[in-house]
Amino acid sequence: MPQRRVISGRSQEPRQRFAEELRILRTGSGKSLRQLGERLGWDWSLFGKMEKGETLGSPEVVQALDTHYGTPGLLLALWELAAGDKSQFRERYRRYMTLEAEAVSLWHFAVSVLPGLLQTPGYAREVLAAGGLKGKELEQQVEARMGRKDLLAGEDAPPFRTILSEAVLRTPLRDTGEWLAQLEYVADVAERSNVTLHVLPQSAGMHGLDSTALMFLRLHGGRTVAYTENAHRGELIEESASVERLTRAYDAMRDLALSPAESRKFVLAMLEEVPCDASI
């Protein structure tokens, strides 16, 4: 069979093609990203991330764009094709990633591993390799995880609160240098105005989330969803009663944690404990 000719000259990769179409439609309409956000009622930075291919957005956002541009079903069809492409994130995380990019605030609890939003490349590589990834797939996932960190950067970055179990900070990497860099990064991020970091000391004892890593996302309109995760699977929870139960458990645990100032001192003390010239 002869190779199909590419007529349009546009990308044949689904995610990139979707981003290209969004840029073409917006620039053709003469609107800036900020004007588009004001017209449709979403943060304009979301549309910028969609046009760069950093996020796909939700079906609701894409449907609003279809209506706005007068392209009924076109963008949604491209979105579905892009969402079916598994080159960057695994299927079980895709809807969560979409919602994370749209969140107006985030709060989190780490039971054993630092959240992806706070990981350095060296930390992410070791964690993902421990989960069985290797070779090209490992490097792709490390790169994808590093791309997520942009969510917490910039003037429009959403507020992010994280509670780190002491065990998270007591479990080192095999490479001392990489572990030192990771702890330094956590201490630096804790100084950002949009980041609030707590450490939950082991002396706090048992609590309602002692085996669950958890992220809450507050979305436009005030709706909150939760994402729980263990070593084998993750679950997106959108039912309001279940989210409320998790919220109460989180609030009770936060009362047991160190203050942000005490927590940063704790991380700095951990840095002093890391040997500089020997493997951990």
pLDDT digit string, tens, across residues 137-181 = 788 788 878 877 888 888 889 999 999 999 999 999 999 999 999
The confidence score (pLDDT) of residue 276 equals 67
Element (H, E) at 169: helix 166-170
Residue 250: closest CA among 131, 117, 109, 118: 109
Residue 22: closest CA among 44, 38, 7: 44
The confidence score (pLDDT) of residue 198 equals 98
Quick one: tokens of 29?
């309409």
The confidence score (pLDDT) of residue 90 equals 54
Give the Cα separation of 248 and 224 in Å (integer): 13
The confidence score (pLDDT) of residue 2 equals 46
The confidence score (pLDDT) of residue 159 equals 96
The confidence score (pLDDT) of residue 11 equals 59
Q: E strands along the chain, which residues?
A: 105-110, 160-165, 195-200, 213-218, 224-229, 234-237
The confidence score (pLDDT) of residue 14 equals 85
Q: E strands along 90-229, which residues?
A: 105-110, 160-165, 195-200, 213-218, 224-229
Give the Cα separation of 217 and 238 in Å (integer): 10
Q: Is the dihedral of CA 62, 23, 106, 138 positive or negative?
A: positive
pLDDT < 50 positions in the chain: 1-8, 86-89, 278-280
> Helix 59-69 crosses helix 14-29 at what angle (to 10 degrees)?
40
| 2, 25, 29, 48, 101 from 45: Cα distances, Å | 42, 17, 18, 5, 10
The confidence score (pLDDT) of residue 9 equals 54
Element (H, E) at 127: helix 121-130
The confidence score (pLDDT) of residue 177 equals 94
Unique residue bearing structure tokens 């094709």: 81
Give the Cα separation of 101 and 175 in Å (integer): 32
pTM (predicted TM-score): 0.67
Quick one: tokens of 196?
């609030």
At residue 172, φ and ψ (nearest 5 deg) are -85, 170
Element (H, E) at 174: none
Quick one: tokens of 27?
């620039």
- How far is Cα of residue 53 from the mean position of the Cα atoms in its chain? 15
Q: Are strands 105-110 and 160-165 parallel, antiparallel or unpaired?
A: parallel
The confidence score (pLDDT) of residue 84 equals 65
Largest CA distance in the chain: 69
